Amino acid sequence: MALASRNIRKYPGFFSMTLLCMVLLYAPLAVVAAYSFNDSLSITRWGGFSFRWYLDVFFGLEADKFRDAAWNSLSIAFLAATASTIIATAASIGMVRGGEFRAKPASFALISLPLMVPEIVTAVATLIFFSAIGFVRGYATILVAHIVFCIPFAYLPIEARLRGIEGTFEEAAQDLYASRGQAFRFVLLPLMAPGIVAGYLLAFIISLDDFIITNFVKGAGIETLPTAIFGAVKQGIKPNILALSTLMLLISIGFVTISYFVSRKGVKPGGHGAPETT
């Protein structure tokens, strides 16, 4: 039986597809990393090995601007992903565990709305709206706009996960006199964790990458990485952008390594669907 169950988890070709997926994901990044060491101005012609673009990122003329931009992007992505994941988790419980109610399809449409409106329309419309209500553009306007469009990206994976969890779990907990809060905290939340992690990660990367909306709602003196990069590209992409991108990769790998060691402490071996603290 043990042998059979191991087989059932394995499909021929799935591992090669995963490998292919990883190659496709990382091959372009290898190019980015390689050409960040290019000694010439070009990103397409190799001109010898050099660290000059890394020096440029840290000490060059635009160093402060890019550092501030990176900080804004990361902090906004962190805050927007956190806020939208919390909002989306609550909403998914209300939608999936809230029984039938008339406003359900409308609520679903509302949650998906940020996905459906073309970005440029959201951008212009939001700018008109913010100006009309006198919301001074700056860090806060970017954050609010990001939380709004991150919600569906966080919601959909969480909702899909929740649909796969049988209602009997919370019911059993409540039969044992757990309050609704306790049923959520100790039963539902751990079971939902992988969905929440997935939603959080998607919200994070979508916020980190946004250009069009940010470009319209940012105020004077604030840049995020995408607006800085799109602006810089007007003069042609220089390898300093590649060096910056490679550094971002290193930062993210740093986070992965840390969270790996943290999560290894937290996980008890063997549990089915055990919570991953990431």
Partner 1 sequence: MKLWKLCAVALLVAAGAANAEGRLSVYHWFEYIPQELLDKFAEEHDVEITMDTYDSNEAMLASLKAGALGSYDVAVPGDYMVQIMAESGLLDSIAEGELANLGNVEEQWMDVPFDPGRQHSIPYQWGSTSFSVNTDVYGGDINTTSIIFDPPEELRGKINVLDSQGEVILLANLHLGIPQCSTDRDQLRQLDELLQSAKQHWASFGSDIAKDVLVSGDAAAGMIYNGFSAKARMEGAPIKYAYPREGIIVWMDNVVLLKDAPNRANALKFMDFLLEPENIAAVTNFARYSPGVMGVTDMLDEELRTAPESVPPADAPAGTFIAVCDEETQSVYDAIWTRLKK
Partner 2 sequence: MAGIGGKSGESASSAFAPIRAWLIAPTWLMIGFFLVVPVGTMLVYSFLTKEFRGGVIWEFSLAAYDRFIFDRGLFGDEPPKLELTYITIFARSIVQAAIATALCLIIGFPTAFYIATRPVSTRAIWLFLVTVPYWVNLLVRTVSMKFLVRESGPLNTFLQWTGVISEPLQIINTDFAVQLGLFYSYLPFMVLPIYASVERYDFALSEAAADLYAGKWTILRKVLLPTVKPGIIAGCILVFVPSLGAFLAPDLLGGAKNFMIGSLIEEQFKGNAGNWPFGAAASMILLSMVLIVLLFYARRQSVRAGA
Of 72, 215, 224, 245, the one binding partner 1 by CB under 8 A? 215
* Three-point CA angle 77, 79, 80, nearest 5°: 65
What sign does the CA torsion over 205, 211, 216, 220 have? Answer: positive
In 97-238, which residue ranges form alpha helices assigned H by DSSP? 104-116, 119-132, 139-163, 168-175, 180-182, 189-209, 212-217, 225-232
Stretch 225-244 residues interacting with partner 1 (CB under 8 A):
227-228, 230-237
Of 156, 183, 222, 242, the one binding partner 1 by CB under 8 A? 222
Stretch 144-203 residues interacting with partner 1 (CB under 8 A):
none
Q: Is 119 in the site for partner 1 (CB under 8 A)?
A: no
Backbone angles phi and psi of 38, in degrees to 5: -70, 135
Stretch 36-55 residues interacting with partner 2 (CB under 8 A):
43-44
The one of partner 1, partner 2, none whose footprint includes residue 176, by CB under 5 to 8 A per kind, is: none
Of the chain, the end-to-end C-alpha distance in Å amounts to 33
The one of partner 1, partner 2, none whose footprint includes residue 189, by CB under 5 to 8 A per kind, is: none
**d(C-alpha 175, C-alpha 37), whole Å:** 63
Residue 92: closest CA among 177, 200, 6? 200
Is 49 or 209 the residue whose CB approaches partner 2 more closely?
A: 209
The one of partner 1, partner 2, none whose footprint includes residue 236, by CB under 5 to 8 A per kind, is: partner 1
Q: Which stretch binds partner 1 (CB under 8 A): 78-86, 123-131, 187-195, 199-207?
A: 123-131
Is 221 or 271 the residue whose CB approaches partner 1 more closely?
A: 221
Q: Is 211 in the site for partner 2 (CB under 8 A)?
A: yes
Stretch 34-73 residues interacting with partner 1 (CB under 8 A):
40-45, 47, 61-62, 64-65
Amino acid at 50: S
Write out the two tokens for 117: 């409106």
